[in-house]
Amino acid sequence: MGSKKRKASALTDQAVSSSSRRSRRRRRHRRKDRPTSRRERRPEWRDWAALPGNVLCAILGRLQIDILCGTGAGLACASWRRAAVEDPLLWRRIDLADTDGDKEKEPPAWWRAMARTAVDRSAGQCESFRGRVDGDFMLYLAKRAPSLRSLRVTRLSVVPGQKLIAQAMEKLPMLEQLVVSNGLFEKPLLCAVLDHCPRLHLLDARGCITFTTTGKRLVARCESRIKNLWLPRLPRGCSCCRRRAQKIADEEDK
């Protein structure tokens, strides 16, 4: 009887010890899964003013309109302000597309000043511009950004005329992409692009209209020179008038 009692007591002690070990393991797991305290959850402090130049340019490059308007990230600190004003890398790709402002027929004076400021800050290194364009600004852009490779026009204003825009194309021999989403795209502008932009491989003017029918010879020249080509569309009219206009354009284009 004594031995049986000793065996039962040993089994009981073993069961209690294993149970206590399981309890300790459960408590350890609970401590690991327990949410950290407020002090432990506090994020590590970072010096945003000490970001590398390329990272800072990537951030500020998405806020160009806010910076030019004198609000937002450009006023965060002295280093960000210095980068926004003095670093040409930030303005190598200028994006001033504004859906609401682009609906106006002519750009307001404040927009012209903002666009010129962006071009000036690029210090001649601008390679890409996106936004609305008129004749005066197009000449200014061509003069200050001779290395421009991509031009995406959200609205092409016709005042003071397309002759100024055609003249500006003569100063952009590095242009590779020209996309015009809204406006008037006439034959003189098309000829200027063909004659003075030898590197152009994309011309998308299907968002524009033209009142001059393009002759077959000029169309063939465009297709042989430009790999990706979409010409402007003609206004709606009767089929007889279209055929007659096409015949006249083909005869004049010989």
Give the domains, in start order, of the chain with CATH numbers: 51-91 (no CATH), 95-252 (3.80.10)
**pLDDT value, residue 195:** 93
Residues 6 or more apart in contact with residue 246 via CB below 8 angstroms: 213
Residue 89 has a CB neighbour count (10 Å cut-off) of 16
Q: Which two tokens stand for residue 202?
A: 């994309």
How high does pLDDT run on average in the chain? 76
- Provide mean pLDDT across the span 154-174: 82
How many helices (H) does the chain have, and how many strands (E)? 11, 8
Structure confidence at residue 197 (pLDDT): 95
- Cross-strand bridge partners of residue 229: 203
pLDDT above 60 for 47:
no
| Ranges 68-72, 125-129, 161-165, most confident | 125-129
Residue with more model confidence, 24 or 7: 24
Label residue 11 by pLDDT band (50, 70, 90): very low
C-alpha 162/C-alpha 200 separation (Å) is 19
Nearest-angstrom CA–CA distance, 174 and 75: 35
What pLDDT does 72 receive? 58
> What percent of the chain lies above the pLDDT cut of 70?
57
pLDDT band at 207 (very low <50, low <70, confident <90, very high): confident
> Residue 97 CA to chain centroid, in angstroms?
9
Tell me the sheet residues that pair with 250.
none
Report whether pLDDT(212) > 90: no
Angle at 168 between CA 165 and CA 174, to 5 degrees: 125
Instruction: Out of 44-53, 80-89, 238-247, pick the least confident.
Output: 44-53
Top pLDDT among 178 and 8 is at 178
Report percent pLDDT > 90 for the chain: 28
Residue 49 has pLDDT above 50, yes or no: yes
Determine the 3-state secondary structure of 161 from DSSP.
Answer: coil
**More confident position, 172 or 245:** 172
Selected residue with higher pLDDT from 18 and 148: 148
